[in-house]
Amino acid sequence: MNANRKAFLDMIAFSEGTSTIKGSDDGYNVVVGGTLFFGYDDHPRELVRLNKNLTSTAAGRYQVLARYYDAYKTQLHLPDFGHASQDAIAMQLIKECKALGDIDAGNFQNAVKKCRSRWASLPGAGYRQHENAYAELEQAYREAGGMVA
């Protein structure tokens, strides 16, 4: 995985708030809402009520929903919900958004725009949840070693 791809994954974890949870395994063991799960054999499948109108099973560094984990586990032949499996799912989501070329070329804002449908915390996602600003995310991306064209 090249430096820009790794930095983009780190930026998503920063944006989703998982990599900054105290005591977490760099976000890989975070359940939506900030609690931790232990063991990577399977997705934790914990339904969390975030507010009166929103529940979610999002978990892991990239906040993958349980139903999507099940689909990608089969599609990508994943053995578990461990680090490599979570990274593979995130990379697959990025590929499906057709953002890989932009990431490799350092077209940061274009890549974020293409991926915002997959991660609610990205600017312009439109899920009526907290969205981070491009400047803050670009800073996190650069600090993780990403290059911007």
Instruction: Please state, in angstroms and as integers, the Cα–Cα distance from residue 78 to each residue in 60, 69, 72, 88, following that order.
Output: 15, 9, 8, 9
Q: Which amino acid is at 75?
A: Q
Of these residues, 16, 46, 131, 143, which one is catalytic?
16
Closest C-alpha among 38, 40, 43 to residue 63: 43
Tell me if residue 16 is catalytic: yes
Residues marked active site are found at 16
